[in-house]
A and B are shown apart, each in its own frame.
Chain A
Amino acid sequence: MLVAGKQLSKWYALVANAEFMLHDVQNEAFAEQLRERVRLFGEKERKQDFFLVCEPTWLDKQFPQEAKRVGRPCVALVSTDKIWITFMKLRLDRVMKLDLGELTPEQALDAGAPYPEFPPLDRTKWTAPYSPYKPGWWNAFEPAVFFNNCQ
């Protein structure tokens, strides 16, 4: 279905505060998973269908009640792959799962704010025998990837 020349698809999302999604030691695995999936899509010549969106504009617009339960700033993992999003909910657990309904990519991937600058990790609480991933690993999964591929 086309609306004003735009492709509508069903989009699904997992939302949580940015600190949890991008800056928690536990979720360094998240970065690894997304890289793994990008690598897989490359091998299979599949177009990327998942993105990270900071402060998505649809959250307050479409889900005002649910939005109250999300810490800010927040980040959404957004995809047209419902099955994969179901899997990621199982993996991450502490995220809110939302069916966005039919949206254009521009609507689904509309970020309301840039990614936050996280304070450096508190090294007294860092238990690992290695240093953390450099901030900004998430930029590789920004919606710009989608729009670049469409041109």
Chain B
Amino acid sequence: MRKGIKEAADETVLTPRFYTTDFDEMEELFSLEKNPTLEMDEFDAMLSEFRTDYNQTHFVRNETFKKAADNITGPARKIFIEFLERSCTAEFSGFLLYKELGRRLKKTNPVVAEIFTLMSRDEARHAGFLNKAMSDFNLALDLGFLTKNRKYTFFRPQYIFYATYLSEKIGYWRYISIYRHLQRNPDNQLYPLFEYFENWCQDENRHGDFFSAILKSQPQFLDGWTSKLWSRFFCLSVYVTMYLNDHQRSAFYESLGLNTTQFNRHVIIETNKTTARIFPEVPDCETPEFWDHMEKLIVLNRKLIAIGQSDAPAVLKNLQRLPVLERFAAELMQLFIGKTVAAGADGVESSAPIPCY
């Protein structure tokens, strides 16, 4: 590999994923010819919002970036580079998916297609900004290499809608919480990238809104018990993944002056409230039982990591993992069958009623 090009981190269950989907089914869902009654008002409103391009002139670097990077040394430097890499990879994977969807839907639904294309513009801008940040650390991600060689996860359109909505909204809450914290504690800001997070967040938030509009245009994905099960499943998958990931990397959040657990709980609680504005059902994240299970998962995850890093033979490691994995699965099941909150968007027939505004 060329000098200065960073080899992508090994893929694990928790690594940012690249997605592909059933593009023919996507065309079926959004084709105006096949769905003449598809409600387009909210898509037109979203298109207007994305065409406005609030951030066209905003992701511009200045000379303070390199100086700040040079001041990040030792373990903090390694941790920060990892943060940049994971974030860049995640933005880039969004870019690829949205770009392809924009291309594939162009003839059958030009409005929805253009929205996907404009979202891919935003993600490309974010990925580019992050990759330039990595150059301050004398590194760059080979995005071309990633495109060709990364393993792609197949997700049906319905799952793309749930997963991507959550990914964008939780991205909003993560970045805006970091931004708000650093605005009030400027001494903790390691690197000027975070000054751009407010604008960045609004892009993520709007992307999530578009997936709200998509779900509302496909009420079959918001109605019935299977929709509630999938809603619960995807919420919990995203929350658990983030909680475990971040606690594995708590040094990063502590380096910004954040308490990792407090940060994560806030992000999950608020993401969940936002998600209750569209999903038919969400987990109740504000019960002590919910957080007890989450904490147990952290302990179990640490055991799994320790087993993986030990010098024991592979066969013995697998045996050691079995009881921990069994406990892990049991905790996940407890979360899945835990308390939920009836939810949903205003005006959607299957939603929990909103009696008063």
Contact = CB atoms under 8 A, between A and B. Distances in A.
A and B are interacting partners: yes
A16 B45 CA distance: 21
Given A26-B270, A130-B184, A94 B354 contact: yes
Interface in A43-102: 43, 69-71, 74, 83-84, 86-87, 90-91, 93-96
A71 B357 contact: yes
A130 B180 contact: yes
Contact of B45 (A20, A84, A94, A128): A84
B310 interface: no
B199 A36 contact: yes
A94 B258 CA distance: 31
A15 interface: yes
Contacts of B44: 83, 86
A74 B356 CA distance: 11
Interface stretch (B79-87, B236-244, B261-269, B330-338): B261-269
A26 B357 contact: no
Nearest to B46: A87
A127 interface: yes
A87 B184 contact: no
Contacts, number: 92
A84 B45 CA distance: 6
A86 B209 contact: no
A95 B277 CA distance: 11
A84 B273 CA distance: 23
Given A40-B54, A130-B177, A90 B46 contact: yes
B101 interface: no
Counting chain A residues whose Cβ lies within 8 A of the other chain, the interface size class is 20 to 34
A32 B202 contact: yes
B259 interface: yes
Q: Give the dominant DSSP class at B's interface.
A: helix
A119 B356 CA distance: 21
A70 B354 CA distance: 11
Interface residues of B, number: 44
A70 B269 contact: no
A25 interface: yes
B213 A94 contact: no
Nearest to B263: A129
A131 B180 CA distance: 8
B180 A69 contact: no
Q: Which 8 pairs across A and B sit closest by C-beta, in order of nearness?
A: A86-B45, A87-B45, A93-B277, A16-B357, A127-B266, A130-B180, A130-B181, A96-B357
Given A87-B49, A129-B258, 20 more contacts: A16-B357, A29-B172, A33-B202, A69-B356, A71-B357, A74-B357, A83-B44, A83-B48, A86-B41, A87-B209, A90-B46, A91-B205, A93-B278, A94-B277, A94-B354, A128-B177, A129-B181, A129-B266, A130-B177, A130-B180
Interface of A: 15-17, 20, 25-26, 28-29, 32-33, 36, 40, 43, 69-71, 74, 83-84, 86-87, 90-91, 93-96, 127-131
